[in-house]
Amino acid sequence: MNIESRFKTYSVDFVTDLTLANLINDETVYFVIDKNVYTLYESKWPVFRKERLYLLDALEQNKTMDIVLSICEKMTDIASKRNTCLVSIGGGIVQDITGFVANILYRGIKWLFFPSTLLAACDSCIGGKTSLNYKGFKNLLGTFYPPDEIKIYPEFFKTLSQKDFASGLGEVVKFNVMAGKNGIDNIEKNICKLIERDNPTITSFVRNSLEFKKSFIEEDEFDKGKRILLNYANTFGHAFEVSSNYGIPHGSAVALGMIVANTVSVNRGLLDSTFAKRIEDVCKKILPVRFDAQWFDKDIIITAVKKDKKQVNDTIRAILLHDDLSLDMYTDIEEREIVSALEKLQTVLP
C-alpha cells in the first residue's frame, strides 16, 4: 500500500521477519526502540551498536520535548548528518516521539517505522501526525511528518498485554462503525475472533482499517476538512485519558468516547438508540473489566474536553453520528449533555 503525502509517497508493507541486519550494519542508521519490545525480541535480532541505539520507556509521560531533545543530542554524535536514517520500533508513543525527532533534526531526515502495537498498526502509523503532551494535556504540540516506510510485523501483536491489545481493538471498532452498516455488521460478526487474536482476522482488519483511513488522509492531509471526521469519539476519549492520568489506554478511551458521543447523538434525536446499543455492546466486549470511579470526575473530563486541541473557541466541538451512520461536526455541545452522557456511561460499565 502506498500513501500519497505532500511530503513524499510512503509505503506500508506487511512483513514476515524484522529484516534488521542490513540496517544495523548501516553507519547512517540510528535506532530508537521501545525498551519492552527490545527485551522481548533481543534474542531474535542481531547485536545493536550501543552508540546507535536509544531504548525508550514508552510511557505517556515521556511524550515530551525533553525526551525529544535527549534523542536529538544522542543522534548528533554519529558521523552522518542530513543523510541519517532513524529507525523506530514501538507503538504510538514511540511513533510520536521519533516522528517529531525525524521532522526537526537537520530540518528532516529519513525515517522508518515498525509499529509494535495493534493500535499503531491499524491507525496512527499512517497520516503523518506526531504529537507531544504539554502541561498535562494530551497532544498539544505536534507536526505532520510521515515515515518513509512502514513495516508491519504481525508477530508483535502476539506478545501484547491484554490491556494493550484491547486498546488496539478500540480503534478497529471505531473504523468499522465509521464505515457504516456493513462495517458494524462485520465487526459484530468477527469480534470474538479478534478478541481471540486470530491472526488472519487481525491482519485483515488492520489492512481494512488502513485502507479506510487512507482515503481521508490523502484527501485532507492537514486535518482541515474531511479528516476531522476521524476524530469521532476522540474528543471524549482524550478526556478520559487525562482524567485517568493515562490509566485508560488510548483505544479503550476511544471506545468509551464512542459510547459518550453516541449517547449525546441519541439524546439529540440524531441517532436511533438501537444502533447506539449495538455499538455499545461491541465496545463493552473489548473494555477492561474494571475502572476506577475517580476517573469519571465530570469536572476534570469537561475541563479536558475544553482543552482538547480540536477546540477553537469557548464552545465545545465534537463529531456526532447520525441515523444513516454519517458523521458531522457539531460546535454547540453543552456541558449538561456531556454530564448526562457520563452518567449513562457509568450505568453500563462493569
Report the chain's mean pLDDT, rounded to a whole number.
Answer: 93
* Best CA proximity match to 89, nearest among 48, 40, 34: 34
* pLDDT 10s digits, 162-190: 999 999 999 999 999 999 999 999 999 99
pLDDT band at 313 (very low <50, low <70, confident <90, very high): low
Q: Is residue 237 scored above 90 in pLDDT?
A: yes
Calpha distance 208→211 (Å, rounded): 5
pLDDT band at 17 (very low <50, low <70, confident <90, very high): confident
Mean pLDDT of the 291-296 span: 88
Give residue 311's pLDDT. 63
Q: Is residue 87 scored above 90 in pLDDT?
A: yes
Give residue 157's pLDDT. 94
Calpha distance 14→207 (Å, rounded): 9
Residue 154 DSSP code: G
For the record, the C-alpha cell of 5 comes out as 503525502
Q: Is residue 289 scored above 70 in pLDDT?
A: no
In the chain, the domains with their CATH numbers are 2-156 (3.40.50.1970), 165-347 (1.20.1090.10)
Task: State the DSSP string of 232-273.
Answer: TTHHHHHHHHHHTTT-S-HHHHHHHHHHHHHHHHHHTTSS-H
Q: Is residue 310 scored above 70 in pLDDT?
A: no
Percentage with pLDDT > 70 across the chain: 98
Q: What is the pTM of this model?
A: 0.91
Give residue 68's pLDDT. 97
State the residue for C-alpha cell 492531509: 221
Mean pLDDT of the 250-273 span: 97
